[in-house]
Amino acid sequence: MSFAKSTAQIIAVLAKKLPHRSYFALRSRCQKLGLRPRNNTVTARELSLMRRIVPTGTKEEILAAFPNRTLSDVGQICRYRGIYRKKRRFKQTGYPLLDQLREQCFKLNLSMADIDEIAKTKRYFQRPGWAGHKVLNYGNVCKAIIALDGEISVRWRDE
């Protein structure tokens, strides 16, 4: 058998010589013989470190903790193992009434899609329906506040 340059070529040659073996069996044999790079397995130490750092750490901290892995490698391992980032607060919109509503949603662990469903506002909160307009749709905001068992009150400045 002549020496081939890439792993794919080696596996192709082996597949012709050993037609009864599967592609994955041949690839595994190439790994054992050192003809193909080994899979970079996750150690228990790395997994423990991921469980501590990933939920709250920044990208730089994660990359510093795992110098031999890319950010996408760490992300794939975390998804497979069920390690998730800590939920972030909603961004401020500049509308105090809407910001208070979104803060309450965060406390109740509700998404904007959940609020749309509860308040029956179609997709007003999922898409930032207020962003392109100068004025909020106070009808939708009031529906959501009432749906969350909130109360709307008016305070006059001169009193």
pLDDT digits (tens, 9 = 90+) for 69-113: 999 999 999 999 999 999 989 999 888 889 999 999 999 999 999
**Per-chain mean pLDDT for the chain:** 88
What is the model's pLDDT at position 159? 65
Both 102 and 71 in a single domain? no
Higher pLDDT: 131 or 84? It is 84
User: Angle formed by the axes of helices 96-107 and 138-147, to 10°?
Assistant: 30
Confidence class of residue 15 from pLDDT cuts 50, 70 and 90? very high
Average pLDDT for residues 128-134, to the nearest whole number?
71
Q: For residues 99 and 36, give the distance between their C-alpha atoms in angstroms, rounded to a whole number.
A: 54
- Contact between residue 141 and residue 101 where contact means Cβ atoms under 8 Å apart: yes
Both 17 and 35 in a single domain? yes
- Contact between residue 74 and residue 85 where contact means Cβ atoms under 8 Å apart: no
Domain count, the chain: 3
Long-range contacts of 135-138 (CB under 8 A, 24+ apart): 136/95, 136/97, 136/98, 138/97
Which tens digit of pLDDT belongs to each residue from 38-61? 778 899 999 999 999 999 999 999
Examine residue 87 and state whether it is found in any structural domain, yes or no. no
Examine residue 91 and state whether it is found in any structural domain, yes or no. no
Examine residue 121 and state whether it is found in any structural domain, yes or no. yes
What is the model's pLDDT at position 36? 81
Domain residues for the domain of 60 are 44-81
